[in-house]
Structure 1
Amino acid sequence: MSWTATARYGLEPAPGGLAFVQDLLNTLSAGQRREPDLLRTVEDARAWLDQALRSWGGVTRRPIPGIELTAEDVEGLRGLRHDLAQILDARHGAPATESGPAASVLTLPTALRLDEHGVVHAEPRGTGWRQVASLALTELYQAQCTDTLRRLKSCRNPRCLTAFYDRSRNNSGVWHDVHVCGNAANLRNYRARKRAGADRV
């Protein structure tokens, strides 16, 4: 599947439908070399969403919903992305901002459907950005139930912030790429310690 927002940061997608949430988070202008915001305009947002829904349908083998976006919906999507990033950071111990998780309560309609094989599916409802949010929250809930949500993280490098799926055995990853962001952070910390030592002399 082609998760365009995540692929541009050289990252592997999260498993199953959780990759949709990761891709939404990665529409942000992030990375060491700033990529453009994929929710900057209505046209950008529609192009991203069309591809993301196709990829979501491919990995989940579920019908692809038709979702129309207006300029107001794009504002809503950007707000959703911000709130999801804040909540994700709070789950992993990062300090919350003033507009953080406390203000991020969403109640959205979702339908449960029993298919011919006896499998229950949660189906997003609503229109525009609320339908996207309903789909994202459905995937977050399913990842929570399978204990994979704890592996979806934002890079701790404040100059990066890309969303990555931590595949380390003990789920201890904090950088989307240890060679890029981890080394840069370690170098900054080393220089800060060296300066602090020189000041004490």
Structure 2
Amino acid sequence: MNWPATERHCLTPAPGGLALVQDLLNTAPAVPAALPDLLADGSLGAVQEWADQAVRGWSGATGRGDVQLVLTDDDLPKLRCLRDQVRRALAAGDCGGEAVRFTSAPVVVGLAGDGTLTIEPEGAGARWLASAVLAEGLLAQASGHWRRLKICRNAACSAAFYDRSRNNSGVWHSVRGCGNAAHLRACRERRRGHSEEEDSGVMA
């Protein structure tokens, strides 16, 4: 299991290192499936386990060596803040809303022997994760993949998914699940509206 938070939603990971951003987002709690917050206070052991798997997945997806990341209790609120900021940034980009200022984090830009440029995360703990997440976001913007990372429009779900539709028109992480639920709610509201109109006509 390379991306534990994303896989608990039964979702396909985003391509390359962008899957790390997606997995961070999917640590958030979700109501429909009663999924807990993987970054909750008092659960450092579970958070470390998530981070170990996610960083291992990132290393494999980007062709890097193993990264030993050690988290402390002080890192947990910082990770939740980062998660919330990335979530708001995606929402702002999706609806053309006000831009969100990201948490800043250092990175190292290097020149490899074959002439290619590399971006390497810096720091320790939550700061390293912030560096890796923001670096992958920047690379995804340059490649055009960033706009395909979305938050499910079902507010009770809010799963982060990578939209693989041809025209990038997806709004739910699951058309059969959250999509059908949204259609049913809209249908009930239309029927309720028609019923109220008919009742008003009878009373008049």
Deviation at 1:94, TM superposition (A): 7.8
Distance 1:123 1:51 in 2: 19
Alignment of 1:9-158 (within 5 A): 9-30=9-30, 32-40=32-40, 41-93=43-95, 102=100, 104-158=101-155
Supply the AA of the counterpart residue of 2:104.
Answer: T
Supply the AA of the counterpart residue of 1:39.
Answer: L
Match of 1:160 in 2: 157
Supply the AA of the counterpart residue of 2:102.
Answer: V
Distance 2:184 2:123 in 1: 47
CA RMSD of aligned residues (A): 1.6
Task: Give the unaligned 5+ runs of structure 2.
Answer: 199-204
Distance 1:162 1:196 in 2: 30
CA contact (8 A) 1:18 1:140 kept: yes
Deviation at 1:197, TM superposition (A): 1.4
Distance 2:167 2:34 in 1: 30
Deviation at 1:148, TM superposition (A): 0.6
TM-score (norm. length: structure 1): 0.92
SS in 2 for 1:9: coil
SS in 2 for 1:11: coil
CA contact (8 A) 2:56 2:67 kept: no
- Give every structure 1 segment of 4 or more consecutive aligned residues whose post-TM-superposition deviation is greater than 4 Å: none
1:197 to 183, 186, 194: 194
SS in 1 for 2:95: coil
2:172 to 175, 182, 190: 175
Deviation at 1:118, TM superposition (A): 2.0
| 1:47-103 CA distance string (max 9 Å, x none) | 00000011111110112332221111111001111111111111111877xxxx54x
CA contact (8 A) 1:17 1:139 kept: yes
Distance 2:10 2:38 in 1: 16
Q: Between Structure 1 and Structure 2, whose CA radius of gyration is higher?
A: 2
Distance 1:31 1:176 in 2: 14
Supply the AA of the counterpart residue of 2:75.
Answer: D
Task: Give the unaligned 5+ runs of structure 1.
Answer: none
Distance 1:120 1:44 in 2: 35
Deviation at 1:31, TM superposition (A): 5.6
Residue identity (%):
46
